[in-house]
Amino acid sequence: MKRPTIPALVIVVGVLLLADLLVVNDSLGALAGIAIDAAILVAAGAALAGVAALAARRTGDLWRRRGDPIGAALVLAGMAAVLIAGLRPGADGASEPAVQWLVSALLVPLGASLFGLLFVTTLAAARRSLELGSREAMVLVAAAVVVLVLLLPVSGPAGVAMAGAAEWLLDVPIGAVFRGVLIGVAILAAVFAARTLLGIGAADE
Amino acid sequence: MPTPAELVGRLVRFVGDVLGASTLRFEIGTTLVVLGVLLVLLQLIARPVSRWVTTDVGGLAAVNRAMALAAEAGTDAVVSLGTAGIARSTDAFGRLQTLSALPLLGHVARAAARAGVPLRVLTNDALAGVAAAAALDSAHERTATLERLGRSRIVMVGEGRASAAGLVMTARARPAAAVATGSLREEAMLHLEGLRGGAGSLTAATAEAAQAPSAILAGGGALIGPELFQAASDLRADTNERTMVMAANRLIVVAVLAVAVGSALVLAGVIVPDDLLLGIGGR
């Protein structure tokens, strides 16, 4: 049997925050502020606990020589490098130049080089999808080709008309589909969040 | 010592004082609209009706077959929980997608546990990794296959969205099935192409509207937009699982009707959107 403590807590806090949204009252605002601060503290604690669990797990991997010891050593070394750079005496934390160097000289270039492959992989995926005869992919690629053609830098009245047509396509039909998806996502996200918080729908097969 | 009547009197006076010191943040119309939406939402969530239909969303019904093939071939299966995580510095929408990926992970994990197929779960977030480990534990416990739990593993792919894509693009393992579910943003195409390159079958699921083309072009099963949140309900047929789908059906109908009626009223010149929206404004 499920314990009703957490759903009850969620409902109480939810009603409190809703009341604070609708009603201007100093006491209510202070109570809502406490609830929000507590949520921030819990999230920060959970993040720290998660990092500690990762470090403990990787240390265990290294100590017992299981899994991927090189990967574990790299993870621990990376964590140590950032922690030492950011937390050593006199350091400015995340704004410390050494930490920023680690990010800007290592992480950002690595990410940028990967994203350089995006153009090639997208074209390859489009070609493969067309070869497979996927109906959705055909519609997608056809729409992309139409928009690309309309956006070609053509001069004169024809170019203006093409640019206008492209703008209309993006604003009206494509924009409508996009907005529809966003509305659906918003509704389902709200329902899913409510079910998760209230503990409705325990998985069972 | 006060009598019960005095206590009740003080309580009533206190409530009266609190109410007297309060004012509505919005106008009465907006307040009623907010409360009305909340009531409708709660009613829809709590009361299932019979508009539920089953569909094989994202080809997830084929997971059992993929696991059988994996068991025969002696390979594993991969589930990627997206690149938003839970404790990482990301937005609430991304976190919610990671949470919505956990029921899908549970579904795949149970199929893998029954078939004796090891599972690799990719995540870039420590807390999501802990949640995934709990999901694997639960799957093996439910299928009475705890002795197989040690063969599955959680792979922490490192910080950032690009690192996950980099890992799957360079991995040498060839899983029988791959499921990428959760928040995928600019790295989506790289991530899905990396998984597809080695996997026998692929399901891509993300609620990021801008990445719908990536999920479609990946060439496998696709859960796009709201389908990610619906998938957990479509996997099973018990009442609680169906509730979300039915609530969604009703809400979608209401939203479509509101958009259609509003559009008709605007076209007919009955209402002017700017006046309507700006006229309600709060303080």
- pLDDT tens, A89-148? 888 888 889 999 988 988 888 888 888 888 888 898 888 888 888 888 899 899 889 988
Position B50 confidence tier, pLDDT thresholds 50, 70, 90? very low
User: What's the domain range around A25?
Assistant: 6-67
User: Contact A204/B236, CB-based, under 8 Å?
Assistant: yes
Q: Is A42 exposed, middle or buried (0-12, 13-18, 19+ CB in 10 A)?
A: exposed
User: Which residues, including other chains, have CB under 8 Å from residue B202's CB and lie 6 or more apart?
Assistant: B177, B178, B179, B180, B192, B195, B196, B218, B219, B220, B221
Task: Please report whether residue A79 resides in a domain.
Answer: no
Residues 6+ apart with CB under 8 A from B81: B98, B101, B102, B105, B121, B122, B123, B125, B128, B132, B181, B182
Whether the CB-CB separation of A188 and B226 falls below 8 Å is answered with: yes
Structural domain contains residue A75: no
CB contact under 8 A, B193 and A124: yes
Please say which residue of A21, A36, A67 terminates a domain: A67
Alpha helices in chain A, H assignment, sequence order = 5-22, 26-64, 69-87, 97-101, 108-115, 118-132, 135-150, 156-171, 173-198
DSSP labels for A141-168? HHHHHHHHHHTS---HHHHHHHHHHHHH
In a domain, A178, yes or no: yes
The string of pLDDT tens digits covering residues B125-181 is: 878 888 898 899 989 998 898 888 888 888 888 777 888 888 888 877 788 889 999
User: Residue A191 domain-assigned?
Assistant: yes
Identify whether A97 is part of a domain.
no
Name, in order, each residue with C-beta under 8 angstroms of B87's C-beta and a sequence gap of 6 or more: A43, A46, A47, A50, B125, B126, B127, B128
Residue that terminates a domain, selected from A67, A86, A103: A67
Is pLDDT of B236 > 70? no
Q: Would A41 be classed as within a structural domain?
A: yes
Helix (H) or strand (E) holding A90: none
| DSSP state at residue B60 | G
Give the C-alpha separation, A164 to A172, whole Å: 12
**In sequence order, what are the residues at sequence separation of 6 or more whose Cβ sits closer than 8 angstroms to the Cβ of residue B11?**
none
A131 in contact with B at a CB cutoff of 8 Å?
no
Say if CB B137 and CB B97 are below 8 A apart. Answer: no
Q: Are residues A182 and B190, on separate chains, in Cβ contact within 8 Å? A: no
Give per-residue pLDDT as tens, B81-90: 988 888 777 8
Asked if residue A1 belongs to a domain, the reply is no
Burial class (CB in 10 A: 0-12, 13-18, 19+), A158: exposed
Task: Identify whether A186 is part of a domain.
Answer: yes
Number of domains in chain A: 2
Query: Smallest CA–CA separation between B73 and chain A, in Å?
Result: 22
Asked if B61 reaches chain A (Cβ–Cβ under 8 Å), the answer is no
Subunit contact B165:A114, Cβ cutoff 8 A:
yes
Q: Which residues of chain A have pLDDT under 50?
A: 1, 202-205
ipTM confidence: 0.72
Look at residue B97 and give its three-state secondary structure. helix
Residues across chain B: 283
pTM: 0.72
